[in-house]
Amino acid sequence: MSRKSPKSYHVKSFGCQMNVYDGERMAELLDAQGLSPAKDADAADLVVLNTCHIREKAAEKVYSDIGRLVKGKGGDKPMIAVAGCVAQAEGAEIPKRARDVDIVVGPQAYHKLPDLVAKAARGENALDTDMPAASKFGALPKRAKPAPSAFLTVQEGCDKFCTYCVVPYTRGAEVSRPWDAIVDEAKALVDAGAKEITLLGQNVNAWQSEDEAGRTQRLDGLIRALDRIEGLARIRYTTSHPSDMTGELIAAHGEFEKLMPYLHLPVQSGSDPILKAMNRSHSAASYLAILDHVRQARPDIAISGDFIVGFPGESEADFDATLEIVRAAKYAHAFSFKYSPRPGTPAAEMGDEFVPAEIADERLQRLQALLNEQQLAFNRKTVGKTTQLLLERDGRKPGQKIGKSPWLQSVHVETDAPIGSLIDVDIVSAGPNSLGGAIPAKAAA
Ligand code: SAH
Ligand code: SF4
Ligand code: F3S
């Protein structure tokens, strides 16, 4: 059955920052086709659900969302596209399970979204989960309206095959974008108003490419090149893997002022036997040694991490080792998750060793209590400092804005300075999730 071509769209992204980046690029593609952004999903002719497959809860969310979209429209349902990692993992199964889905497009094929929309409008099968050799990036429009803090994907995919993880299957093999393409995109972002760029990759520190002189460069070299871009004030990168944390990259934290003092370095567990079963190529001790080196290069650096509790076979002693590594590492921020068995991954086959849900829940609570304590302690340590904020959005109260500190903390401050400005503030209060800032008396007078 053919249907009307959509005139408006809404992209809803779940999951990691790379999905946020992909969502922005899909929006730019649809803008270039003459579609206009709708104010929300209910007002859109085309809804793109940019999905995440990392844990079961995330993956199932898309189906409840589809149900809501169809019901909310009272029979006049929007064209629905499922993009992202669920699209890659489940492909043709999706329209079988949810008949209202019109388009399925994987993370390496979304440059073809306009074609797929046209196909769906003609009533044709619109599914593309190819992982083509030629990357999608060349087919995307130039960056136009970035936020003050913009994402830039430099590396995609993963060859690490941690035994619990779907990413190597949903995003494919590790691929680095070429040097020129990244430098050009960074300049375009800065020309369009971005002040901060976060370089993204599933294993961003595995990025490698030849520069314009044919020399092999790694992430530290790329940071050096971006550091020279006038108008760019801040550089960040995420997510890093401990085994690609080179000495040069560590040294870069002491070398480049634009490189913000923040490192997201997932460890997952503090127990060596569990790390081995996870196929992580580091130990608890080698991870802590990296943190020592990074702190030598940049003493005030904020460290962030990811944790999984209840991995198959995790004993109480293994979990204690996780609490111990947290105490030693002193995190400024962290994400922690209960292990979720994912189809097709080796750990999902370790069924006889699964940790009962109540035990995993209880461990997660204990871990999160400790991590929250550390986060609050880190935040409190910044009270009394004068630091720079990048203003990113309006706060809830009139006149209030929310900006990010160099350590990626959200800071509320009353100021007339516009979004996108870099301003100095005194940190005057700290909670677990945000800080209060005030314009220094001298500057306010
Ligand atoms: N490439 C990044 C991000 C991977 S996904 C990295 O290597 O860190 C983000 C986090 O989700 C992981 O670090 C891990 O802590 C968590 N995760 C991945 N698979 C999971 C699973 N099956 N169950 C629970 N948490 C998982
Ligand atoms: Fe997943 Fe491990 Fe790759 Fe991270 S490094 S994306 S956790 S397989
Ligand atoms: Fe999720 Fe895919 Fe990112 S599974 S975490 S959206 S790479």
Give the model confidence (pLDDT) of 297-344 as tens digits: 999 999 999 999 999 999 999 999 999 999 999 999 999 999 999 999
For residue 414, what are the contacts with CB-CB under 8 A and spacing of at least 6?
Answer: 397, 399, 400, 401, 438, 439
Ligand 2 nearest-atom number relative to CA 171: 6
Q: Would you say residue 445 has pLDDT above 60?
A: no
Residue type, 187: K
Delineate the domains of the chain, giving CATH numbers in brackets: 8-128 (3.40.50.12160), 137-381 (3.80.30.20), 383-444 (2.40.50.140)
Q: Would you say residue 178 has pLDDT above 90?
A: yes
Instruction: Find the Cα–Cα–Cα–Cα dihedral 48, 52, 53, 56, rounded to 10°.
Output: -100
- Please tell me the distance between residue 60's alpha carbon and the centre of ligand 2 in angstroms: 21
What is the three-state SS of 105-171?
ECCCCHHHHHHHHHHHHCCCCEEECCCCCCCHHHHCCCCCCCCCEEEEECEECCCCCCCCCCHHHHC
- For residue 206, CA distances in Å to 103, 133, 182 come to 33, 19, 15
Across the range 171-181, mean pLDDT stands at 95
Q: Where are the alpha helices (DSSP H) in 177-230?
A: 179-191, 219-227
- Please tell me the distance between residue 16's alpha carbon and the centre of ligand 1 in angstroms: 10
Contact predicate 135/177, CB 8 Å: yes
- Please tell me the distance between residue 299's alpha carbon and the centre of ligand 3 in angstroms: 32
What is the model's pLDDT at position 444?
Answer: 53
The pair of three-digit structure tokens given for residue 146, joined into one six-digit string: 């970035």
Taking CA atoms only, the protein residue closest to ligand 3 atom 6 is 52
Residue-averaged pLDDT of the chain: 95
Pairing of strands 196-200, 175-176: unpaired
Give the model confidence (pLDDT) of 48-84 as tens digits: 999 999 999 999 999 999 998 887 655 678 999 999 9
Across the range 263-278, mean pLDDT stands at 98
What is the model's pLDDT at position 132?
Answer: 86
pTM of the model: 0.95
Residues with CB under 6 A from ligand 2: 158, 160-162, 165, 167-168, 202-203, 241
Q: Would you say residue 265 has pLDDT above 60?
A: yes
Ligand 1 nearest-atom number relative to CA 338: 24
- Please tell me the distance between residue 401's alpha carbon and the centre of ligand 1 in angstroms: 32
- Please tell me the distance between residue 239's alpha carbon and the centre of ligand 2 in angstroms: 10
Q: Would you say residue 252 has pLDDT above 60?
A: yes
What is the model's pLDDT at position 20?
Answer: 95
Contact predicate 197/189, CB 8 Å: yes
User: 64-73, 89-98, 195-204: which range is least confident on average?
Assistant: 64-73
